[in-house]
A = this chain, B = another copy of it.
């Protein structure tokens, strides 16, 4: 049994190396989240070609032979959102054989988070709820759901919530981000106790609104 498998494996490797086997294509697809109109939204692109023509899909690029996965993603972000230096992390690699009807494409998915203000205004944004009702190209709906879960989990043990805000923010703003990402209301006092060690006071305040102004903070 063991030896038999070993031999099979060796043959496979030799044949593969000899280019007798076709290689899959590799793409990176990005789930770019932002918060807009008090909801979590994801950037989508309308496909102009088959397959899934006229359906929405995640923005993505093929990985060049002399380009790392992260670099391919950065190229994709720059092309799609016209920006640099935003937060991203790799999510998961999707490798079902039939995920693309044209040919074998393995997709390395990434999560990207960006404050709405930084985002190119031409980006098409759809709320998570809307996307839930839509049908997307390829397995992209599943990828977005995966990303949504990752964000929900990671909010509690990381600082990703800050990625949705600009450098200075108020605690009510930050709390709202947490509430949107966690999809549940939070108690103000408890929230403040918990995030206190993560933030640092600026001396500034908001002003001009018809109610008590709030302090501006920065991430520590």
Question: Which chain A residues (42-94) contact chain B, with CB distance < 8 Å?
Answer: 61-70, 72, 75-76, 78-79, 82, 90, 92-93
Instruction: Assess the A61–B9 pair: CB atoms within 8 A.
Output: yes
Instruction: Assess the A21–B65 pair: CB atoms within 8 A.
Output: yes
Instruction: Assess the B82–A68 pair: CB atoms within 8 A.
Output: no
Q: State the majority secondary structure of interface residues on A.
A: mixed
Alpha-carbon gap, A6 to B21, bound state (A) = 33
Q: How near does chain B come to A20, taking the closest CB pair, in angstroms? A: 11
Stretch at the interface among A22-30, A174-182, A204-212: A22-30
Q: Which residue of B lies closest to A6 (CB)?
A: B79
Instruction: Assess the B108–A95 pair: CB atoms within 8 A.
Output: yes
In the complex, what residues of B have CB within 8 A of residue A23's CB? 23-26, 65
In the complex, what residues of B have CB within 8 A of residue A66's CB? 97, 104
Q: How near does chain B come to A30, taking the closest CB pair, in angstroms? A: 13
Checking B2, B26, B62, B90 against A26 with a beta-carbon cut-off of 8 angstroms, the contacting residue is: B26
Q: How near does chain B come to A103, taking the closest CB pair, in angstroms? A: 9
Checking B65, B96, B122 against A68 with a beta-carbon cut-off of 8 angstroms, the contacting residue is: B96
In the complex, what residues of B have CB within 8 A of residue A22's CB? 65
